[in-house]
């Protein structure tokens, strides 16, 4: 690993690395100049396609291929940059924007030239106010220096970049949710087709790319596709920013070739698990991707190998480490609370399923669990998401995968928890069970009175807030 030369992060520790002067002095805006003045847009697409650059946002869709989906006879193209980095524990895009904004702007410039887009919207996570200010300054700098605006480098190509701050929703990181939100609507993902490349923002052909993906583009142009493919593992080429957080000694964001193992990340780059403990599990790439058990930490974190462990994918490559004193029930409680809170409420399975999962986990955690709850959770997680085809977007997959993986890899521990954590006041009442199973209510009431006698008052079936507002 020692021979790996950081590319995306090379300006991070340079003084004033976020200024145009320093960026240009270190070879910045050469790739864009080369592309705009010497290359045909289609040739740029060709180079990126040849590099097999895969989207860094989570799904790993080939970037060059995405650009070719735009209709040939389009009049206007828009580029939306997805800076709504909202996956828990992920912070590489924030650093990319704050520490080297011009690399990102150069990436936008080349991508826009390649896709013939003269307008780019940068959709920024609401909380990233610092990145917003830095980018605002950087865009002004770039415009003043002629990297943006009209007739850039005399090539006749025009580009304007608009910064847009989101309103604080996880779902706005989904590309069509982002587009809706950008249009000023509620961030509800759209049904596809039509895909954004055909009909996206403001009903115009739109490319949506992640910040890290675009940050790779200038380097591919500068050094060539072959160079890019020399880094990483088969089908997963190039450098990648890995974030490590959770129970480690040093939470870091580190640039490495794709395909580094989780164990190396934890032990070498993050200084090992904290307090001298062992890792029990690790989230491979944002909580929606699932869970690696301790035995699976040697898997390569790239787009392909990670799936062999049953995880959803690489995601944002944000590894969160759980030490051996962390309860998997707590992990599931937290993830389910997150997804119940962030489900946009559009598709029935996700809207109802995520909150059901959360309520069940809340009950299990507080001591009212039943072993059969795990079967219900398993069944729900199998049927949620775009993978089985029951929702519009992938949020529900993300909600389901932690359960799928945890139940496959840690079920004995959860069962043990349920057996040992029983609080009679939290148990479901016979009345609740009877209502669910369809027994007529009067029988149920009699039943509950005789059986329970002095049992605590059953928790209200109806309460103003449903008792679950996260």
The 10 Å Cβ neighbour count of residue 88 is 17
**CA dist., res. 70 & res. 209, Å (int):** 14
Cβ atoms of 137 and 143 closer than 8 Å: no
Compute the least distance from the CB of residue 308 to other proteins, in Å. 20
Between strands 239-246 and 252-257, the pairing is antiparallel
Which among 241, 180, 312, 304 is positioned nearest to 9, based on CA atoms?
A: 241
Pick between residue 75 and residue 275 the one whose CB is nearest to other proteins: 75
Compute the least distance from the CB of residue 121 to other proteins, in Å. 18
Pick between residue 193 and residue 453 the one whose CB is nearest to other proteins: 193
Residue 129 burial by CB count (10 A; 0-12/13-18/19+): exposed, middle or buried? exposed
Compute the least distance from the CB of residue 146 to other proteins, in Å. 37
Pick between residue 93 and residue 176 the one whose CB is nearest to other proteins: 176
Cβ atoms of 300 and 314 closer than 8 Å: no
Compute the least distance from the CB of residue 209 to other proteins, in Å. 23
Sheet containing strand 318-323, strands side by side: 252-257, 239-246, 318-323, 279-283, 292-293
Between strands 232-233 and 236-237, the pairing is antiparallel
Cβ atoms of 168 and 160 closer than 8 Å: no
Pick between residue 263 and residue 359 the one whose CB is nearest to other proteins: 359
- Report residue 341: phi and psi, to 5°: -75, -35
Two tokens, residue 24: 């240009």
The length of the chain, given as a count of residues: 470
Compute the least distance from the CB of residue 459 to other proteins, in Å. 6
Two tokens, residue 303: 């787009």
Two tokens, residue 87: 């996956």
Pick between residue 140 and residue 461 the one whose CB is nearest to other proteins: 461
Pick between residue 327 and residue 432 the one whose CB is nearest to other proteins: 432
Place of tokens 């007739």: 151
* Per-position DSSP letters for 311-352, written without gaps between them: -S--TT-EEEEEETTS-HHHHHHHHHHHHHHH--S-SHHHHH
Between strands 149-152 and 236-237, the pairing is unpaired
Compute the least distance from the CB of residue 180 to other proteins, in Å. 7
Compute the least distance from the CB of residue 59 to other proteins, in Å. 16
The 10 Å Cβ neighbour count of residue 14 is 15
Q: What separation, in Å, do the N-terminal and C-terminal C-alpha atoms of the chain show?
A: 43
Q: Is the dihedral of CA 427, 429, 432, 436 positive or negative?
A: positive
Compute the least distance from the CB of residue 392 to other proteins, in Å. 6
Which among 379, 368, 370, 367 is positioned nearest to 407, based on CA atoms?
A: 379
Compute the least distance from the CB of residue 451 to other proteins, in Å. 16
Compute the least distance from the CB of residue 190 to other proteins, in Å. 6
- 175 Rama class: left (phi>0) / alpha (psi -120 to 50) / beta: alpha
Q: Which alpha helices (DSSP H) does 116-191 contain, by range?
A: 129-144, 175-182
Pick between residue 273 and residue 392 the one whose CB is nearest to other proteins: 392
Pick between residue 106 and residue 180 the one whose CB is nearest to other proteins: 180
The residues that touch other proteins, with contacts defined as CB under 8 A, are 169, 171, 180, 185-186, 188, 190-191, 193-194, 203, 340-349, 351-356, 359-360, 363, 376, 383, 386-392, 428, 432-433, 435-438, 459-469
Pick between residue 145 and residue 459 the one whose CB is nearest to other proteins: 459
Which among 150, 152, 120, 140 is positioned nearest to 35, based on CA atoms?
A: 152
Residue 295 burial by CB count (10 A; 0-12/13-18/19+): exposed, middle or buried? exposed
Compute the least distance from the CB of residue 125 to other proteins, in Å. 17
Pick between residue 27 and residue 467 the one whose CB is nearest to other proteins: 467
Pick between residue 217 and residue 384 the one whose CB is nearest to other proteins: 384
Compute the least distance from the CB of residue 55 to other proteins, in Å. 21
Pick between residue 295 and residue 451 the one whose CB is nearest to other proteins: 451
């Amino acid at each position: 690993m020692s021979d790996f030369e950081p590319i995306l992060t090379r300006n991070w520790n340079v003084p004033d690395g976020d200024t145009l002067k320093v960026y240009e002095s270190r070879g910045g805006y050469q790739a864009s100049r080369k592309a705009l003045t010497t290359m045909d847009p289609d040739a740029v697409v060709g180079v990126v396609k040849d590099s097999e650059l895969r989207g860094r946002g989570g799904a790993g869709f080939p970037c060059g291929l995405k650009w070719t989906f735009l209709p040939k006879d389009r009049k206007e193209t828009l580029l939306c940059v997805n800076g709504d980095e909202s996956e828990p524990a992920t912070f590489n895009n924030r650093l990319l924007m704050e520490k080297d904004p011009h690399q990102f702007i150069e990436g936008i410039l080349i991508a826009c030239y390649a896709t013939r887009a003269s307008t780019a919207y940068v959709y920024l996570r609401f909380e990233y106010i610092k990145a917003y200010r830095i980018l605002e300054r950087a865009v002004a700098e770039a415009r003043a220096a002629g990297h943006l605006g009209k007739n850039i480098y005399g090539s006749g190509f025009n580009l304007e970049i608009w910064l847009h701050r989101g309103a604080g929703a996880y779902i706005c990181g989904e590309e069509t949710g982002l587009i809706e939100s950008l249009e000023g609507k509620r961030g509800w993902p759209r049904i596809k087709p039509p895909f954004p490349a055909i009909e996206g923002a403001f009903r115009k052909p739109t490319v949506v790319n992640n910040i890290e993906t675009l940050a790779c583009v200038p380097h591919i142009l500068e050094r060539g596709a072959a160079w890019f493919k020399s880094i990483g593992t088969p089908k997963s080429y190039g450098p990648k920013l890995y974030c490590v957080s959770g129970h480690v000694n040093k939470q870091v964001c580190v640039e490495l070739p794709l395909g580094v193992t989780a164990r190396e990340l934890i032990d070498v780059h993050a200084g090992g698990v904290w307090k001298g403990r062992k890792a029990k599990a690790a989230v491979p790439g944002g909580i929606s991707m699932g869970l690696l058990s301790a035995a699976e930490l040697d898997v390569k974190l790239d787009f392909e190998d990670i799936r062999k462990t049953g995880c959803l994918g690489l995601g944002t490559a944000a590894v969160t480490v759980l030490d051996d004193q962390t309860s998997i029930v707590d992990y599931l409680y937290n993830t389910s609370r997150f997804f119940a809170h962030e489900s946009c409420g559009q598709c029935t399975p996700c809207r109802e399923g995520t909150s059901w999962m959360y309520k069940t986990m809340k009950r299990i955690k507080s001591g009212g669990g039943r072993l059969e709850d795990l079967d219900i959770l398993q069944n729900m997680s199998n049927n949620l998401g775009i993978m089985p085809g029951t929702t519009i977007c992938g949020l529900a997959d993300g909600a389901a995968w932690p359960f799928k993986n945890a139940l496959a890899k840690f079920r004995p521990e959860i069962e043990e928890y349920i057996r040992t954590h029983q609080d009679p006041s939290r148990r479901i009442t016979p009345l609740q069970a009877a209502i669910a199973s369809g027994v007529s209510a009067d029988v149920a009431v009699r039943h509950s009175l005789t059986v329970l006698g002095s049992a605590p008052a059953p928790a209200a079936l109806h309460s103003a807030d449903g008792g679950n507002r996260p």
